[in-house]
Amino acid sequence: MPHDARLTEAAYQGAALEVDEDYYGRIGAETERRRVVDEFTVPIRSGQAWEIPAGHVCRISTPEGPQVGDLNLWNRHDPRERFWAARTRQLQAAHLSTFDRLWSTLPFLRPMATIVGDTLAEYGTDPEGGRLHDTLGTRCDPYVSQTLSGVDFDFHCHSNLVRAILPFGLTEFDVHDVLNVFQCTGLNDNDEYFMKTCPAQPGDHFEFFAEQDLLAALSACPGGDLSAPMFGDGSEDAVDHCHPLRVTVYALPEDLLGDWTEPESPNYRGGHGLKPQTWASLH
């Protein structure tokens, strides 16, 4: 196989990565029979956590203007299972859209959610190489802020997420790398991470189907649409570019769900090559 051709192939392939696009396409398209079971607004520079039952659809939208949102997901019954951004990058893509899946951490490793709607799916790749719904970067946080600018600020996405999950019994240690919804990012010629102004307009949305009972948390990024610097000179203007986010959770009719079942974890029982110890083996 020619060297260049090998490099253009996806590193991870297999039947487990195949998605029934007809099935999930119907879930995304048949919106009239949905029933709203929860809806709320996340104000600027704040965060909120909420539950999403398995088999429901969650929509994140921009009701007033462009706004980036940092999303975390956990298994509602076992928060040790959480969204794994790095493995999702490998199994799906660095920037996600319709029919991509959000995968969970080891030893669970299964789809937590499947994206079924994205009004910005046609954005594609812009002339600078920017794409949307980013897993390359992660949440802004007060530690980086202090390191880069010497400024203490309590409303970074990390802090917003920390406050949001406390009522559910979780802590700062449970906050993890995010899906940056509506965020436009890429790598420049020096392989450095860059962020661009969010192109979302009022009414744009991103929605996913819960493959298991989920706890979700969303931060309305303090950088707003990211048209102003996050740190240093000019960062004080970012608040002028902030907008709220809206979250809506929908129940689906049973006939639309069909014979869907919750994805299972891999049946690995090898024990990583470790052998159980007995008294006899030690003496």
- The CB-side HSE value for 111 (13 A sphere, CA atoms) comes to 21
Residue 4 confidence class, pLDDT cut points 50, 70, 90: low
For the stretch 67-114, pLDDT in tens is 999 999 999 999 999 999 999 999 999 999 999 999 999 999 999 999
Q: Residue 32 corresponds to which amino acid?
A: E
For the chain, the DSSP string reads --HHHHHHS-S--SGGG---HHHHHHHHH--TT-EEEEEEEE-TT-EEEEEE-TT-EEEEE-SSS---EEEEEEETTEEEEEB-HHHHHHHT-SB--TT-EEEBPTTT-SEEEEEEEETTGGG---TT--EEEESSS----HHHHHHHH----S-SHHHHHHHHHGGGT--GGG----EEEEEEEEE-TTS-EEEE-----TT-EEEEEESS-EEEEEEE-TTTTS-S-SSSTTGGGGGGG---EEEEEEE--HHHHTT--PPPPP----GGG-----HHHH-
Domain limits of the chain? 12-252
Query: Which comes out higher in pLDDT, residue 66 or 5?
Result: 66
For the stretch 41-80, pLDDT in tens is 999 999 999 999 999 999 999 999 999 999 999 999 999 9
pTM assigned to the model: 0.94
Q: What is the DSSP letter of 140?
A: -
Q: Residue 164 corresponds to which amino acid?
A: A
Checking if the pLDDT of 3 tops 70, the result is: no
Checking if the pLDDT of 160 tops 50, the result is: yes
Rounded Cα–Cα distance for residues 135 and 133 (Å): 7
Residue 283 confidence class, pLDDT cut points 50, 70, 90: low
Q: To 10 degrees, the CA torsion angle through 182, 45, 194, 204?
A: 10
Checking if the pLDDT of 232 tops 80, the result is: no
Residue 278 confidence class, pLDDT cut points 50, 70, 90: confident
Can you read off the two tokens belonging to residue 204? 């744009």
- The CB-side HSE value for 234 (13 A sphere, CA atoms) comes to 6
Q: Enumerate the β-bridge partners of residue 102.
A: 113
C-alpha of 120 from chain center:
15
Lowest mean pLDDT among 68-72, 229-233, 254-258, 266-270: 229-233
**H or E, element range at 135:** none
C-alpha of 49 from chain center:
14
